[in-house]
Amino acid sequence: MHNNSMSIFVRNSLIALLVAGVITGTVIYAVNYLNNARVAQLGAMENQISIDTLSLDTQFSLLETAPCDSAASSTTLTGELTDLGDRLSYAEGQLGIDNAQVIQLKEQYSLLEIRDYLITKELAAACGTKPITVLYFYSNAGDCSDCDKAGYALSYLRTTYPSLRVYSFDYNLNLGALKTLITLMKVQDTLPAFVVDGKRSYGFTSLADFEKQFPKGALATSTTISAGL
Amino acid sequence: MCYNCAMMSPEVLAYPFLFIALYFESFLLVTFLSKPAREHRLETVVRSTPKVAIIVPCWNEETTVAGTVESLLALEYPKEKLSIILVDDGSTDNTPAVIDRFSHHPQITALHKKNGGKFTAMNLGIEHAKDAELIGFLDADSSVAPDALREIVAAFDEPGISAVTASMSIYKPRTILQRMQYAEYSLAITLRHVFASVNGLYVTPGPFSFYRRSIFADIGMFKRAYLAEDMEMTMRMQRAGLRIGNAIRARVYTKGPPTFPKLIKQRVRWTTGFMRNMFFDYRDLIGTKKNAVLGMFVLPLGIIAIGSGIFLFILSIFQIIQRGLHAFSMLQVAPLSYAFSWHKFTWFYLPITALTILGVMVIASTFVWMVIGKHASKTPGKLAFNMVVYLCLYGIIAPLWLMRSVSDVALGVRTTWR
């Protein structure tokens, strides 16, 4: 009887190990498949935004000045960039900040942001508009304790005031164009760092203090929304 | 973007435990489908009716012992072959008078003794059951189904069986904790059935476990055994190479602690009894090849279960506090209405990770075993709601008695009965 129990135990243990291994392997494969699908979607979005950006840029070059009716297209592009940024942030949380695909996607995303920022400035100069732009520099290397709060506050402001254009950059990203932007804007490595309408500021304390950095009246139309809702 | 993602998520620490849980569930499935377990689920055929004695040790059970005795008298078994021995272990309430009311019954013997602990009452009962071939025990807060004894006796027909356990369930659960225990006991029915089929049991529980009388002469009587005399006896039987079976349709109903303090008290007694017996007196069973199921699977996983229960609880508390504080600090930044406003949701944001999928699979398979346990044993009652209660409470409450037990064993705190 003992030998019989022993043989059943050994057999069942091996089968159970195999079953557990196959299930775990399948689950890991499925989750990886899903993550790859996420990355593929991000890549597709970036490609589309890249084409749209290039189209807008080419339009400017053809007309030798910024067509003011392109402002709407530019706004749509910024909205798409925001959506892409949110998804990229989520994917970064799922796949990890060291993931090569995530880093590559972030580099492309940062380039698109810089391009969109330049187009916005060109449109503003040609058409006399005054869009409020925020360049936000963060770090997720564990050396920026207030970056979470700053990011959340900017998400809130961006949602509440759709005309606000927020561009988020990972300060530590090894990207030539980003480093040039950081140099041009004279942004130091005290994070979080902001450039609101060309003026630099560092650190985050509260939403109220942060809002003071915006030009007077810049958030006026939406103040009602923030207070009322 | 992803802010402060640099720290490795502590969730990854849960993966080894999840894999072990999955392995355990897979082993259950394979063994449940194996020939020995399948044969044990076949319809019961009673080939003989040996003489049986059922001992009911009582200590301050004035409200429940009468119901226990009446359920025993209603057992479908030849009256001349069934004797019931009630042993009052020095009760200080009205228990002596209650059991004396039954003393005139031809099947019943009522004994009284000074309080000496449950094991002394059980041993006294054994001494008075000289002509019985099979001796069973029933706690004085439990009752049995009429056909339970026939199921038990039939299980002894299998060659080499020295003891047989029954299928316990909670009788008419009323409080939320009893409902949780109902689901837990349904799972235990399956576990006991599966592990008995490969002789992997480490406890023959107090409610309605039976032994061949001869084993008490061979390996001795019950001992104090850190108030876990049933576990100690089972481990002694396993050490002696004896075989312990299970009669899945032998239903016994127990009340189950209705309140939190009583539940914790009971479970600390069980868990410390398990740990003390195993670590202090039966360490040789761990890893033994003589009974590989017990030594290399059940006992090691029992230890891992205690450790993982505590570890995962602490990990969860740590995560809840960490995320709670983070969420709280975020709520200070922007108006509350923003946090609860509608955000666009697509499949992209589905929070699917290997951890969540494997966790859901383990929980789902646990529920399946509960359903199987209930139906295979033909236990009455409704399970669905009780499973929900189990899901909500067990992971919070069980670690509390596990931590208390580990602490008591480590510090040498003496466990008391009530």
Tell me what pLDDT residue A3 has. Answer: 60
Q: Provide CB contacts within 8 A for B168, sequence distance 6+.
A: B142, B185, B188, B189, B205, B207, B208, B252, B253, B254
Could you tell me how far CA A15 lies from the centroid of its own chain?
A: 46
> Of A145-159, B48-62, B330-344, where does the model show the most confidence?
B48-62
| Residues A6, A24: Cα–Cα separation, whole Å | 26
pLDDT at position A227 is: 32
Task: Please tell me if residue B114 touches chain A, with a CB cutoff of 8 Å.
Answer: no
Say if CB A144 and CB B3 are below 8 A apart: yes
- Kindly report the nearest CA distance between residue B364 and chain A, in angstroms: 14
B358 to chain A, any CB pair closer than 8 A? The answer is: yes
Cβ atoms of A164 and A158 within 8 Å: the answer is yes
The chain A residue lying nearest B33, using CA atoms, is: A12
Q: Given CB atoms, is B410 within the 8 Å cutoff of chain A?
A: no
Per-residue pLDDT, A92: 85
Q: Which residue of A has its CA nearest to B347?
A: A38
What is the reported pLDDT for A71?
64
pLDDT digits (tens, 9 = 90+) for B361-407: 999 999 999 999 999 999 999 999 999 999 999 999 999 999 999 99
Report residue B22 as tokens.
Answer: 């999955």
A30 to B357: CB separation less than 8 angstroms, yes or no:
yes
ipTM of predicted complex: 0.85
User: How many percent of chain A have pLDDT more than 70?
Assistant: 86
Tell me which residues of chain B, numbers 264 to 293, contact chain A at a CB-CB cutoff of 8 Å. 289-293
Q: For residue A92, give the nearest of B5, B30, B293 by CB distance.
A: B5
- Taking the Cβ of residue B159 and every Cβ of chain A, the question of whether any pair is shorter than 8 Å is answered with yes
pLDDT of residue A161: 85
Output the furthest CA–CA distance in chain A (Å, rounded).
Answer: 93
Provide the sign of the torsion angle of the four alpha carbons B329, B331, B332, B334, taken in this order.
Answer: positive
- Cβ <8 Å between A27 and B36: no
Of B3, B29, B337, the CB nearest to A229: B337
Decide if A159 and B338 are in contact by the 8 Å CB cutoff. Answer: yes
User: With contacts defined as CB-CB under 8 Å, which chain B residues touch A41?
Assistant: 348
**Can you tell me the distance from the alpha carbon of B293 to that of A10, in angstroms, rounded to the nearest whole number?**
9
What residues in A contact B159, CB-CB < 8 Å? Answer: 1
Per-residue model confidence as pLDDT tens digits over B202-252: 999 989 999 999 999 999 999 998 889 999 999 999 999 999 999 999 999
Interchain proximity A23–B352, CB inside 8 Å: no
How much is the pLDDT for B43? 82
Chain B, nearest residue to A13 by Cα:
B27
The single-letter DSSP state of residue A140 is -
Average pLDDT over residues A105-128: 87
Chain A positions touching B329 (Cβ under 8 A) are: 148-149
Q: Could you tell me the end-to-end alpha-carbon distance of chain A, in angstroms, rounded to an integer? A: 74
Q: How confident is the model at residue B9 (pLDDT cuts 50, 70, 90)?
A: low
What is the model's pTM? 0.86
**Predicted confidence (pLDDT) at residue A135 exceeds the cutoff of 70:** yes
Token pair of B40, please?
Answer: 């044990």
Name, in order, each residue with C-beta under 8 angstroms of B244's C-beta and a sequence gap of 6 or more.
B161, B162, B163, B164, B165, B196, B199, B201, B204, B234, B237, B238
Q: Nearest-CA distance from B227 to chain A in Å? A: 30
Q: Report the alpha-carbon angle B257-B259-B263, nearest 5.
A: 50
- At residue A140, does pLDDT exceed 90? no
Chain A: residue whose CA lies nearest to B20: A20
pLDDT (0 to 100) of residue A2: 54
Q: Could you tell me if A194 and A135 are in contact, meaning their C-beta atoms sit under 8 angstroms apart?
A: yes
The stretch A28-32 carries a mean pLDDT of 94
B322 to chain A, any CB pair closer than 8 A? The answer is no
Rounded to an integer, what distance in angstroms lies between the CA atom of residue A147 and that of residue B2? Answer: 9
**Residues of A whose CB is below 8 A from B360:** none
Give the pLDDT confidence of B110-161 residue by residue, as tens digits.
999 999 999 999 999 999 998 999 999 999 999 999 999 999 999 999 889 9
Q: Count the helices and strands in chain A (H runs, E runs).
A: 7, 4
Q: What's the pLDDT score for residue B359?
A: 94
Residue B109 has pLDDT above 90, yes or no: yes
CA A83 to chain centre: 8
Cβ of A8 within 8 Å of Cβ of B7? The answer is: no
For residue B152, what are the CA distances in angstroms to B25, B56, B273? Answer: 27, 17, 26
d(CA B185, CA B380): 12
- Measure CB to CB from residue B26 to each of A16, A160, A229 and give the nearest one: A16
Mean pLDDT computed over B254-276: 96
Mean per-residue pLDDT of chain A: 84
Using pLDDT thresholds of 50, 70 and 90, give the confidence band for residue A229: very low
Q: Could you tell me which residue, B62 or A140, shows the higher pLDDT?
A: B62
Inter-chain contact A159–B353, Cβ cutoff 8 Å? no
Confidence class for position B2, pLDDT limits 50, 70, 90: very low
Contact A12 B30 (CB under 8 A): yes
DSSP code string of A172-217: T---HHHHHHHHHHT--S-SSEEEETTEEEE----HHHHHTTSPTT
The sign one gets for the Cα dihedral A146, A152, A155, A161 is negative
Closest-CA distance, B185 to chain A, in angstroms, reads: 24
Is B415 part of the contact surface with chain A (CB cutoff 8 Å)?
no
Total beta-carbon pairs less than 8 A apart between chain A and chain B: 143
Out of B26, B291, B348, closest to residue A87 by CB: B348
H helix or E strand, kind and range, residue B246:
strand B243-254
Q: Do A8 and B291 touch (CB under 8 A)?
A: no
- Pull the structure tokens for residue A72: 């709407």
Residue pair B234/B199 in contact by the 8 Å Cβ criterion: no
Q: Is the dihedral of CA B111, B117, B119, B123 positive or negative?
A: negative
Q: List the one residue out of B271, B263, B256, B278 whose CA is nearest residue B139.
A: B256
- What is the average per-residue pLDDT within A191-208? 91
Choose between A190 and B416: higher pLDDT.
A190
Buried b vs exposed e over B328-360: b needs ≥16 C-beta within 10 Å? eebeebbeeebeeeeeeeeebeeebbbbebbee
